[in-house]
């Protein structure tokens, strides 16, 4: 079983591709339950930095991708949008 963090990264990666590289949902925290997940206090990054003080723009998007793990979860999620 993969760690919850891998699913968080996959959701972030999905958000980037779903928005054609304009936004990235990140800083995902929360927990998994039998039937659902609860995510708390997410941040959204955008190319034009329109989401307030936590929106680090493209530099933070690049930082996310420099440190993320592109694994089987990301591959399966991306197959849904390609």
pLDDT digits (tens, 9 = 90+) for 11-63: 888 899 899 999 999 998 888 888 888 888 899 999 999 999 999 999 999 99
What is the structure's pLDDT at 72?
Answer: 53
H or E stretch covering 59: helix 57-67
Pick from 35, 40, 39, 43: which is nearest to 61 by CA? 43
Q: What is the dihedral of CA 77, 12, 27, 5, to 10 degrees?
A: 20
Pick from 30, 24, 5, 28: which is nearest to 65 by CA? 24
Task: Look at residue 81 and tell me whether its pLDDT is greater than 70.
Answer: no
């Amino acid at each position: 079983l993969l760690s919850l963090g891998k699913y968080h990264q996959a959701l972030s990666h999905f958000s980037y591709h779903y928005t054609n590289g304009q936004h990235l949902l990140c800083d995902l925290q929360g927990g998994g339950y039998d039937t659902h997940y609860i995510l708390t206090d997410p941040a959204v990054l955008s190319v034009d930095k329109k989401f307030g003080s936590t929106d680090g723009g493209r530099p933070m998007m690049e930082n996310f991708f420099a440190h993320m793990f592109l694994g089987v979860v990301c591959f399966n999620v991306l197959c849904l949008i390609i």
